[in-house]
Structure 1
Amino acid sequence: MKRIHIVPIFKTLILMFALFISGCSKILKETPRSIYTPEFFKTEKGVMGGVTALYSNLRYIFGNAYYYNTCETGTDEVTYAQSADQNFKVMDITGVGDITSTTSRADVLWYNAFPAINTASGIIEYGTEAGVPASLIAEARFFRAFYYFMLVQTFGGVPLDLGAGELKFNTNPVRLSKRNTVPEVYTKAIFPDLIQAINDLPDNPRLTGTVTKTVARLYLAKAYLTYAWWLQNPNNIPTYPAADRTDPDGHNAQWYFQQAYDIATYAIDNPGPYGLQPTYYDVNWAPNDRNNEILLYADHTETSEYYNGASLTYSGGGGQDNFAGWMMQWNYTVIRSSSSPSTWVPVSSVQREAEQHLGRPWIRMCPTIDVIENTFADKTNDSRYDGTFTTVYRGNWNKAGISGPLYNANFMQVNPGDAILTFLNDNPPSPLTYPNGPGHSNVGAAEVPGRSDFVIAPEGISRIVYPGLWKLGEYRTDNGNGLGQPNAASTRPFNIAKFSEFYFIAAEAAVKGANTQVGKTARDLINVIRARAGKWRWDNNGDSTKIEDHSAQMVAATPATITIDYILQERSREYYGEGYRWYDLVRTQKWGELAQSYRICGPTYGDHTPKTYTRNIQPYMYLRPIPQGEIDALQMSDADKQAYQNPGYN
């Protein structure tokens, strides 16, 4: 994978990209522009174009595999897989690379957030002269706050002045910069913009997928929660630029925890058009994309390359391509069955297909054994394991023009749609006997008497063969009877925010001491999510209807006392692999504790011996480095450049 370098933030040139809002009769269609001016934003066309660009810009970050990797690899959820290059290995912090200002792929966020912030500032500063509704300006306010919130969590304090004054629209490239402190970013930019956005945004989206009061409430509650943790600083994690852990507005951490709770519970009681899906499966099931649980997403479409922003037939991974879902898919196309019932004549029985269980394999990231065995320990009552991973790989050779049955494990006959390889839910009482090397399956899977599918137990999961990430899987409606376009980037929306997070935010704030309402204690709130997780309507990996309600068992198993550690466990079960995890661990200052070690088998087929790897997570790593390209572009003294960088990365 190549690193893609983008011009420094302080150049204000930015393209306006068309945004297709799928499922709506209205399409935001604008002519691309190379530069924005105050005069342009004083027109209705200019405001509409700028707002459209803000939505389109989400695609450069969310769905980008390099940024996605920085949010997952190195946490307790994910390690690097067999084909990972240094873009991925360095984030693991196990001695296979170092996170530096040139290797950290958090540069994707830095280089794409600031142009969007500048665009939003232009709309806010000049858009009122265009005679557009305040609600449209409020969309820009939301995005300016949204991007500053992402930046301050990632890098610490960042500049509010892009060259024309704090929160002012800048039209001239500048080579000087001063970073504001964390409290300044929150109290001058994030909180005021989100409060104003809540006042001015509509209850219902202007178009499918546009932001509303509820979306802004989610981010205000989350920002209050995160800032409260920062003020409290329980584990003495350093900040930068240096700043006292005091609030300029005179509030303490407890006040902000209470605000987070109050806003989140208000949103739960006043959901507007949003709510929870009836089952966990429905949340991430591709035909149900853009459902009412999803508050914000980076949109794509298979109906038009122009509106998709990426090729519909092939992708190299970059730009607006939605290719994050490839990273945790292993190369299942190596699996072999036999065309003969007596002599092993290998045939590719699981072909690459544009289907949610399959898709394009890149083998860059993988779950750890601990995730499979511990995070998702309950696979009977809790549907979230089945609704997160692909654990059964089924034959589809007929779609590649190969006719007739094949013969699989134990030379037993299999037909298209049958299980060819299964990752067992639990380790069997007697250890599996694996082949020495690839074996008949060609991936080192075991043959169990009486089973036609090859199998691998959780203890045998490796960097090269592991359950794939179903929830981000490919999905197309134009496959016909064939394999479709599995080499194209995903045309699904990449989900960024969900209504369910209100329950977690309120529960976390309650654990941190917020006064709670009747029926909305931390345990009450978590149990809403857990009860939903116990409701099954479909066995995803069994490929069959499953109408079972285990919500009572799920609720009964919830601890009487909810802790931050338990909330983090539940967040991982709910949002595994969606890009939340690093931010969750950094916010709660639990990264070094919960992600310090993990287990995984090796990078070769047939390696089923788990090894323990230890991470060396240092306090300074709770902030990502400022990209070196940004530092180099500044016209400042070497001492000032060094002072601009986060400590530990010079």
Structure 2
Amino acid sequence: MIKFNKKIFLGAVTLSLCFSSCSDILEEEPRAIYTVEYFNTESGVNQGVTALYRHLRLLYGNGYFMSNCQNGTDESTWGQSADGNFKELDMSGNGNINPGTFPTSMIWGSVFPYINTANGIIEKGPAFGIAESLISEARFFRAFDYFMLVQTYGGVPLDLGSGDLAFNVSAVTTSKRNTVSEVYTKAIFPDLLKAIDNLPASPRVTGGVTKNVARLFLAKAYLTYGWWLQNPNNIPTYPEATRTDPSGHDAQWYFQKAYDVALEGINSPGPYALQPTYYDINVGSNDRNNECMLYADHTASSTYYNEGDPTGFGSGWAPDNFAAWMQTWNYPNIKSSSSATTWTAVSPVQRAAAQSLGRPWVRMCPPIGVFKNTFADKTNDSRYDGTFVTTYRGNWEKAGMGNVTLYNANNLPVQPGGAILSFLNDDSQSVSYPSGAGQSGVGAGTLTGRADWVVAPNGISRIVYPGLWKIGTYTTLDPNGLGYPNAALTRPFNVAKFSEFYFIAAEAAVKGASGAKSARDLINVIRARAGKWKFNNAQNVTYIADNSASMIAATPSTITIDYILAERSREYYGEFYRWYDLVRTQKWQEYGATYQIGGTAYGDHTPQTVTRNIQKFHYLRPIPTSQLDAMSMSAEEKAKYQNPGYN
């Protein structure tokens, strides 16, 4: 766990990273000490810029941050092996979010040292002749961090001890929170506008920030602030302040700005573009494609630069990328028989470093509604197949068992690579389930004539459910064997995608912005792409199809916020967006109120309806106990510092 230190506002970052002057790759070198004195050098300032990229790893790809961003929404609930880090965020009676809840504290505990690093770069960089284009990378990250903070906690401190947005070198144990409008108008908007003016159109280094990366976050910040000003469901803000803009603009002005900036991003794409198919975005062999604008990067080529052994045992902690483990169930427990006459159980699906498999943790799972409602169209729309693992295939030949025939459901023969367990698309067929785990070992059922075990949508439970293919393990190490499934992923974890320009502009249009493209025009660009197939993961075959016309025809004539939220879930499921989408649009209580899921035991296929207790004060996360304990303030002052509802 990240411990929030009394000196959090000192800004002495304990890990720094450095540039290589002869490479266009952002090389990262861990340092034991990164002192304020070292920061008073040109080299220290340059290394501080690289550290800002590294700090993305503290959150993106972190499974506990995934819990913060998804549990308690319509996308996720707790899985069979979950602890309080997952159950508390579900809001369903297994503990409550409180100031000591770890996942909700992660942003607060991670970003303030890097905000101060950005303050130092912006303040000291000009004296060393450092170009504004490089300093604007720091401006971007300062705005990025403050945007995460203000969405999560409300108003936060702009003064870390030496004045608003000033580099602080003194340990400070007092703090004052600025209002939401001050954080946006004094920090986020000015920094992003300056960054857009000065960042290059193409990245300085692989994965570096650009004008369009800054545009994307400015458009999203305008959109989010517009919602905050409008406040349609009377959600409380903190620190308490009138919801008025210091510049006198209303919500509609900001919705229009969000639309205009997003359209500028679409019309001036620079090196970015939509990938031709949804599969192309997410398949591991095409990582770092030009739809992915910003990511927390990793590498399989170096333990040193990766900050973790690509072939070792992953720590399950930052800076590792291990989010995919959270929603991976214990598929190695699936059983087949090595004998056609006497059931002799063996494990046909071995743990492997493959995008559809990986390391099981069973901490989170998707509610049944994800499959029946969000991804109702599994035929035309490729995003269901491009998001989930719905077929688990045999790989026993890679585990020393030999290329032999095994016997599976209905005692039918299966070969390596064959379907061992499948999740059905709908509930139209009458599945015969066993009592308990059954021969399958995991309580899966049978259909007459099929060799694969099957589970229908209504049979999905907290212990058996489709895994997440899109963010799953991918590696080129040991391509002919099982690989290193217990190692952390060396894939980049995407933070921002070019496609979101279309969603931001469409949402702004629904909120009243006007321009050349309607909300339906914009959403149909994404839906048309979703109708194009290149590969079918469920069948494990090349599949060329263009269902774009059907997808466009199915788009309603009037686009609503609800429709945009549904499309956002189909596009970004499992990518740390959902809680923030529902909080921005003030739909969390509506969307997260109830869900259905089976129980925690193999063979439990009875959907249970679960009710969540989501109150309006929950739209802000609590200020962490570690922060309050670190401050030299009275109990009354600390109580006023905390968000209401959490004292």
TM over 0.5: yes
| Alignment of structure 1 residues 380-391 onto 2, 5 Å | 380-391=379-390
C-alpha distance in 2 between matches for 1:629 and 1:580: 26
Residue 307 of structure 2 aligns to which amino acid in structure 1? G
Relative to structure 1, the CA distance from residue 11 to residue 42 in structure 2 (aligned partners, 3 Å threshold; closer, same or farther) is closer
C-alpha distance in 2 between matches for 1:244 and 1:34: 44
Aligned to 1:254: 252
Aligned to 1:616: 613
Relative to structure 1, the CA distance from residue 20 to residue 427 in structure 2 (aligned partners, 3 Å threshold; closer, same or farther) is farther
The C-alpha deviation readout for 1:476-505, integer Å capped at 9, x for no partner, is 101232111110111100111100000000
C-alpha distance in 2 between matches for 1:6 and 1:531: 46
Aligned to 1:434: 433
Any gaps of 5 or more consecutive residues in structure 1?
A: none
- State which of 598, 601, 607 in structure 1 corresponds to 2:598: 601
Residue 445 of structure 1 aligns to which amino acid in structure 2? A
| Alignment of structure 1 residues 539-554 onto 2, 5 Å | 539-554=536-551
Q: Answer whether contact 2:29 2:304 (CA < 8 A) is retained.
A: no
| Alignment of structure 1 residues 113-262 onto 2, 5 Å | 113-262=111-260
Aligned to 1:525: 522
Residue 433 of structure 2 aligns to which amino acid in structure 1? Y
Relative to structure 1, the CA distance from residue 46 to residue 402 in structure 2 (aligned partners, 3 Å threshold; closer, same or farther) is same
The C-alpha deviation readout for 1:92-125, integer Å capped at 9, x for no partner, is 0010110000014121111111011000000000
Report the CA distance between 1:42 and its aligned residue: 5.0
Aligned to 1:462: 461
Structure 2 counterpart SS, 1:146: helix
Report the CA distance between 1:259 and its aligned residue: 0.2
Q: Answer whether contact 2:296 2:494 (CA < 8 A) is retained.
A: yes
**Larger deviation: 3-12 or 472-481?**
3-12
The C-alpha deviation readout for 1:429-483, integer Å capped at 9, x for no partner, is 4x21100111111001112121110000000000000000111101110123211
Q: Answer whether contact 2:18 2:47 (CA < 8 A) is retained.
A: no
C-alpha distance in 1 between matches for 2:288 and 2:381: 24
The C-alpha deviation readout for 1:602-625, integer Å capped at 9, x for no partner, is 100000000100111000000000
Aligned to 2:324: 325
Structure 2 counterpart SS, 1:599: strand
Report the CA distance between 1:272 and its aligned residue: 0.5
Aligned to 1:263: 261
Report the CA distance between 1:20 and its aligned residue: 9.1
Aligned to 1:574: 571
Residue 109 of structure 1 aligns to which amino acid in structure 2? I
Report the CA distance between 1:66 and its aligned residue: 1.0
Report the CA distance between 1:362 and its aligned residue: 0.2
Aligned to 1:414: 414
* 1:628 and 2:589 are equivalent in the alignment: no
Q: Answer whether contact 1:43 1:127 (CA < 8 A) is retained.
A: no
Relative to structure 1, the CA distance from residue 6 to residue 641 in structure 2 (aligned partners, 3 Å threshold; closer, same or farther) is closer
Q: Answer whether contact 1:327 1:363 (CA < 8 A) is retained.
A: yes
C-alpha distance in 2 between matches for 1:87 and 1:28: 33
The C-alpha deviation readout for 1:160-214, integer Å capped at 9, x for no partner, is 0001110001111110000000000000000000000000000000011000000
Q: Answer whether contact 1:423 1:456 (CA < 8 A) is retained.
A: yes
| Alignment of structure 1 residues 20-31 onto 2, 5 Å | 25-30=24-29
**Larger deviation: 316-325 or 537-546?**
316-325
Any gaps of 5 or more consecutive residues in structure 2?
A: none
C-alpha distance in 2 between matches for 1:303 and 1:395: 29
Relative to structure 1, the CA distance from residue 10 to residue 497 in structure 2 (aligned partners, 3 Å threshold; closer, same or farther) is same
C-alpha distance in 1 between matches for 2:198 and 2:334: 55
Q: Answer whether contact 1:283 1:291 (CA < 8 A) is retained.
A: yes
Structure 2 counterpart SS, 1:151: helix
C-alpha distance in 2 between matches for 1:218 and 1:601: 39
| Alignment of structure 1 residues 363-382 onto 2, 5 Å | 363-382=362-381
Structure 1 counterpart SS, 2:116: helix
TM-score (norm 2): 0.98
Relative to structure 1, the CA distance from residue 479 to residue 18 in structure 2 (aligned partners, 3 Å threshold; closer, same or farther) is farther
**Larger deviation: 351-360 or 44-53?**
44-53
Relative to structure 1, the CA distance from residue 621 to residue 349 in structure 2 (aligned partners, 3 Å threshold; closer, same or farther) is same
The C-alpha deviation readout for 1:249-280, integer Å capped at 9, x for no partner, is 11110000000000000110110000100000
C-alpha distance in 2 between matches for 1:161 and 1:43: 23
Percent of pairs identical after alignment? 63
Aligned to 2:92: 94
- Number of aligned positions between the proteins: 643
Residue 59 of structure 1 aligns to which amino acid in structure 2? R
| Alignment of structure 1 residues 293-332 onto 2, 5 Å | 293-312=291-310, 313-332=312-331
| Alignment of structure 1 residues 455-534 onto 2, 5 Å | 455-517=454-516, 520-534=517-531
TM-score (norm 1): 0.97
Residue 101 of structure 2 aligns to which amino acid in structure 1? T
Q: Answer whether contact 2:2 2:109 (CA < 8 A) is retained.
A: no
Structure 1 counterpart SS, 2:397: helix
Report the CA distance between 1:70 and its aligned residue: 0.7
Structure 1 counterpart SS, 2:103: coil
Relative to structure 1, the CA distance from residue 385 to residue 19 in structure 2 (aligned partners, 3 Å threshold; closer, same or farther) is farther
Report the CA distance between 1:522 and its aligned residue: 0.2
Report the CA distance between 1:318 and its aligned residue: 1.2
Structure 2 counterpart SS, 1:471: coil
Aligned to 1:449: 448
Structure 1 counterpart SS, 2:544: strand
Structure 1 counterpart SS, 2:542: strand
Structure 2 counterpart SS, 1:496: strand
Residue 629 of structure 2 aligns to which amino acid in structure 1? D
